[in-house]
Amino acid sequence: MTQDNQPINGHIDEYLNYYCGLSHPPGFAVLLKGKWGSGKTWFINRYFGNLKQQNRKCLYVSLYGMTSFSEIEEAFLQQQIPFLASKPVAIVRNIATQVLKSNLKIDLNDDNTLNLATPSIKLSELFANLDQSTLIFDDLERCNIDLSNILGYINNFVEHKGLKVIIVADEEKLEKNDSYKAIKEKLINQDLAIEPDFHGALEKFITNVSKPDIRKFLSENIHLIQNVYIKAEYENLRTLKQIILDFERIFESLPEKAHKSKEEILKDSKLYIDYLKDRDQSKLASYSFSTGDNILGGYLGLSFQGAKLEDFKDFCTYLEKSQESAKNNNMPNIGQELLTVMQSDVWKFQDMICLSASPYQVGVSQRYHRIPVLKHIKETDFVEKLLSLEFEDKHNVCRSLIKRYEVESFNKELFEELDWLKSVRSLLLEEIARKQGKISGYTLTLHIEPSLNEAINKLEGKID
């Protein structure tokens, strides 16, 4: 419906009623135009049905695939005399044609002209009594007859037979033909753009659904369907019709449990997150996803089309909180993982605890540059593993601690590691005291102690 509560294409209905109701030949055709899938055929079929109900003379033909005028005339003739369209008659006509050709030496040309001694008789002459009639030509852009020829043919009905003619087409495709504009100016005096009538079309599509329970389900969710249709910004009623047909097939195959309220789906989704959290917190904590609000998109490079829906936002919030809880519970395990990595690859260790763009490019789930994970490592274990490293690796680990606290905006979140750092420094000072006078004690004093002091000062905000 439009803003004034009138049907979206109500003005077209009004004009066509005026046009078809003229008591004199209008002398021009009307063009109904719209893109593929906009509902042109649906609209004109509905209007054609209304004319028939009013006992108005009208004939309809789709030009899709038509290759000759005789095919068009045949379609019109069958509507005037439905008996001719029946299968038995078609068979008899075919046999009769062959008999006429072979036995009576009467030839039937390709355009259905009978070559008799009398003047030629064409199908067009068999419905010459169409005064006050309306002819509807649909799918003009999909006709296989040359555009100039078919428009000239249609013009004959308008100009010489005084009929009312409605042409239905995707004009954008017709405009690619150089001759179209000149012919249109002579033939068409009024063109009207069809707007997709979502409500009217959807109600019709739902009516055509065979199963009552599916019709009921779709009818109860019209507003949801409309919201998705609008947000998709793809105003194509033909596609909407196909979606309804596909949904009917899918709905019939789903188990009863799958028949989709949103509240039940959201509840089940949250229960599944709880299940994952209870079963494997590390797996839930390491799972990463995006709602599609950033350049990376969503899961596996695909974006979530429902990212703006409130129910989806609710789900995402619950997942994020559950992940945060799982990460906190899983921190001791992550701390042990970091210790293992530190022993085998100090550069990867640095990449995991610092904001960097090193060649390792560890996954998002392995980056802890703003998560206070170090406090979950037992200080004595860290010092023991650190002292077991080669001299250069010891130095690089300590430099990693300085780098970790260089981003001042992260230090508010990492402040919880301050006591841990001080405890590690105390343990190392004890080690230095035990090794006083030895080279190993001197190297600890020269490199490790200053690095820890600088890291602590950065975290405390004492220096820039």
Domains in the chain, please, with CATH?
Answer: 10-195 (3.40.50.300), 199-258 (no CATH), 264-322 (no CATH), 345-460 (no CATH)
Q: How far is CA 187 from CA 72, 196, 378, in A?
A: 19, 26, 89
Tell me: pLDDT of 365 over 80: no
User: Is the sign of the CA dihedral 239, 242, 247, 253 positive or negative?
Assistant: negative
What is the pLDDT, as a whole number, of residue 6?
A: 66
Q: How far is CA 303 from CA 299, 307, 308, 310, 403, in A?
A: 7, 8, 11, 16, 34
- Per-residue pLDDT band at 4 (split at 50, 70, 90): low
Pick 296 or 377 by higher pLDDT.
Answer: 377
Pick 110 or 239 by higher pLDDT.
Answer: 239
Tell me: pLDDT of 367 over 50: yes
Pairing mode, if any, of strands 188-193 and 164-169? unpaired
What average pLDDT does range 208-212 have in this prediction?
84
Tell me: pLDDT of 386 over 70: yes
Pick 291 or 39 by higher pLDDT.
Answer: 39
Please name every residue paired with 89 in a beta bridge, in sequence order, or none if there are none.
none
pTM of the model: 0.47
Tell me: pLDDT of 152 over 80: yes
Tell me: pLDDT of 179 over 70: yes
What is the pLDDT, as a whole number, of residue 284?
A: 72
Q: Which of 93-107, 168-182, 199-213, 236-250 has the lowest mean pLDDT?
A: 93-107
What is the pLDDT, as a whole number, of residue 101?
A: 44
Give per-residue pLDDT as tens, 316-364. 888 888 887 877 787 888 899 999 999 999 999 999 999 875 655 566 5
- Per-residue pLDDT band at 17 (split at 50, 70, 90): very high
Q: Which of 140-149, 194-203, 266-275, 297-306 has the lowest mean pLDDT?
A: 297-306
What is the pLDDT, as a whole number, of residue 369?
A: 87
- Per-residue pLDDT band at 15 (split at 50, 70, 90): very high
**What does the DSSP assignment read for 194-262?**
PPP-HHHHHHHHHHT-S-HHHHHHHHHTHHHHHHHHHHHT---HHHHHHHHHHHHHHHHHS-GGGS--H
What is the pLDDT, as a whole number, of residue 115?
A: 40
Is the CB of residue 27 less than 8 Å from the CB of residue 159? Answer: yes
- From CA 161, how far away is CA 113, in angstroms rounded? 20
Tell me: pLDDT of 88 over 80: no
What is the pLDDT, as a whole number, of residue 125?
A: 53
What is the pLDDT, as a whole number, of residue 201?
A: 78
What is the pLDDT, as a whole number, of residue 301?
A: 61
Give per-residue pLDDT as tens, 235-294. 777 788 888 888 888 887 777 666 677 788 888 888 888 888 777 766 676 666 555 444
Cβ neighbourhood burial of 443 (10 Å; 0-12, 13-18, 19+): middle
Cβ neighbourhood burial of 238 (10 Å; 0-12, 13-18, 19+): middle
What average pLDDT does range 442-455 have in this prediction?
83
Q: What's the mean per-residue pLDDT of the chain?
A: 80
User: Is the sign of the CA dihedral 215, 221, 223, 228 positive or negative?
Assistant: negative
